[in-house]
Amino acid sequence: MTSYPVRTFEDVRETLLAKREIALLDVREEEPHAQCHPLFAANFPLARIELDAWTRLPRRSVPIVVLDNGEGLAARAFDKFVALGFTDVALLAGGLDGWIRAGGEVFRDVNVPSKAFGEFVEAERHTPSLSADALDALRTSGENVVVLDARRFDEYRTMNIPGGISVPGAELVLRARALAPDPATRIVVNCAGRTRSIIGAQSLVNAKLPNPVAALRNGTIGWTLAGKTLEHGSERRFDTDAGRDPLTLEASRQSALALAARAGVRRTSLSQAAHWAGEASRTTYCFDVRTPDEYESGHAPGFRDAPGGQLVQETEMYAPVRGARVVLFDDDGVRANMTASWLAQMNIETYVVDGANRGDLTEIGAYRPQRPPPAHSPTISPQALAALLDDPSNGVVLLDVAPSANFVKAHIPAAHWILRSHLAPGYDDLRALPDARRYVLTCGSGVLAAFAAADVATLTGKPVSVLDGGNAAWTRAGLPAESGETKLASPRIDRYRRPYEGVGNAREAMQAYLDWEYGLVAQLERDGTHGFFVV
């Protein structure tokens, strides 16, 4: 039996308190992770290690501690990280159970550091808020009120407060003065639950907007629990020029800069950030906090796109190395400073780039992550696969390793959905499928399928091919697709279902979620490793 190095609960806790670098990684799927994990354990599913490791863990010598709950995933993850060149990897002694037995606090849900921080901010600053009934009464009576939705635009389009405008978190301070130019206009900030409502409203308060500002208490969940109707498919969003006239922009910039200074944010340059990113002794994350469209139109080399509101909401997903250095960039002096002010208060060493200009933004397009090459597998075209599938005697079994939500939305009719992490000895998922003479693997783009192909070949000894271009190529070829929860070979544990996503006891689930959020401040106090503060 292979022996793996371990690090104890006491060792990990002392490292967190000392603010030394550590990546505490829960390599289970998102659903079991959401049920129970340490505060700073970032979800890093085994199935995606090759896709994400070199981006989310940019320094190969960073100390990594992996955990599971006895499923054997941590040992497999250890082997993958070592194969990818990481040199300081260990298992958490006893896994999740060892953490609990040692007295470690455990948390539910996802993005817990950010959500707990939001509750901490509200408790310390008493962020003003309005109930759903109070907001509805204001709107019905014709009061001068504007509702700003701080979530991503795709979340906003799914459901929104009637009349609300999509203004994702980092955009609020930059855009709000233009969206509510009359100082008497009441601004109400919402999200689905609490965190982005609180952080968004408190951002406007901290930036000293003259308007009365409040968070919508409990967001769209609270609106629904109050018996009110949401809109769906809305397209209202801020104008890209909003807040950029010289006088308004300067007021926003000065407020954001002063707030960043109060929070202890430091200043740097693009050249210094590039130097830090190449250091072997310290992890540096470089994030561009503008909108995705702005990022793709031109960005500085080495900077990942991380819209500021989401970076504050999902901090441990973007930057799972606790104790790392974070550098932020924008082109307006508002969004990076506001985002940095929050990260600094989350006990993260944060810098903002000064002195950059348009000429420094020499890269265009989406971020292109660095990934290792997969083991070679033969590929098959969509047309050739369709011909093979037409004749059952060919004995082809098609496996789709895409996220289950994507599979349910649309998939090749013959495909069986399977978790990549279950393509290993000890799991019956593959054995339960029809006998195969050969396997073909696919996913959205074919990238993850190319890595999973080696798993299937090792497990079965059968020929394995990869659909060239994945499901996207199949669709481009005009071949048929279907939707629904059909041919699921694995349980759908790759994504935690949020409480507003249509479970049978939706109202009870929503209320339970809110009750959980209310208890996070007490959990933070018991855990004692966070170092959060407010200004």
- Co-location of 65 and 129 in the same domain: no
Q: Which of 198, 223, 244 is the last residue of a domain?
A: 244
Residue 503 has a pLDDT of 47
Residue 500 has a pLDDT of 67
Q: Domain total for the chain?
A: 4
Angle between helices 447-460 and 49-56 in degrees, nearest 10 = 130
- Co-location of 304 and 403 in the same domain: no
CATH number where 28 lies? 3.40.250.10
Residue 504 has a pLDDT of 54
- Co-location of 345 and 433 in the same domain: no
Q: Is 392 exposed, middle or buried (CB count within 10 Å of its CB: 0-12, 13-18, 19+)?
A: exposed
Residue 335 within a domain:
yes
- Co-location of 105 and 121 in the same domain: no
Give the span between the Cα atoms of 45 and 26, in whole angstroms.
7
- Co-location of 86 and 58 in the same domain: yes
Please check whether residue 496 is in contact with residue 31, taking contact to mean a CB–CB distance below 8 angstroms: yes
- Co-location of 180 and 226 in the same domain: yes
Tokens coding 109: 């849900």
Residue 451 within a domain:
yes
- Co-location of 214 and 287 in the same domain: no
Dihedral angle sign, alpha carbons of residues 256, 260, 261, 266: negative
Residue 499 within a domain:
no
- Co-location of 385 and 297 in the same domain: no
- Co-location of 434 and 404 in the same domain: yes
Give the span between the Cα atoms of 31 and 459, in whole angstroms.
25
Please check whether residue 532 is in contact with residue 118, taking contact to mean a CB–CB distance below 8 angstroms: no
Residue 451, C-beta contacts closer than 8 angstroms, at least 6 positions apart: 50, 51, 374, 375, 420
DSSP helix/strand/coil, 294:
helix
Residue 502 has a pLDDT of 55
Please check whether residue 423 is in contact with residue 23, taking contact to mean a CB–CB distance below 8 angstroms: no
Print the domain residue range for 466.
379-476
First to last CA, the chain: 52
Residue 417 within a domain:
yes
- Co-location of 268 and 384 in the same domain: no
Rounded average pLDDT per 10-residue block, the chain, 535 residues: 92 98 98 98 98 98 98 98 98 98 97 97 97 96 97 96 97 97 98 96 97 97 95 96 94 97 98 97 98 97 96 98 98 97 98 95 96 96 98 97 98 98 97 96 98 98 98 98 97 89 68 87 97 97
Residue 481 within a domain:
no
Residue 520 within a domain:
no
Residue 516 within a domain:
no
- Co-location of 93 and 144 in the same domain: no
Give the span between the Cα atoms of 202 and 342, in whole angstroms.
10
DSSP 356: -
DSSP helix/strand/coil, 174:
helix
Please check whether residue 39 is in contact with residue 530, taking contact to mean a CB–CB distance below 8 angstroms: yes
Residue 355 within a domain:
yes
- Co-location of 102 and 144 in the same domain: no
Residue 79 phi/psi, 5-degree rounding, is -60, -40
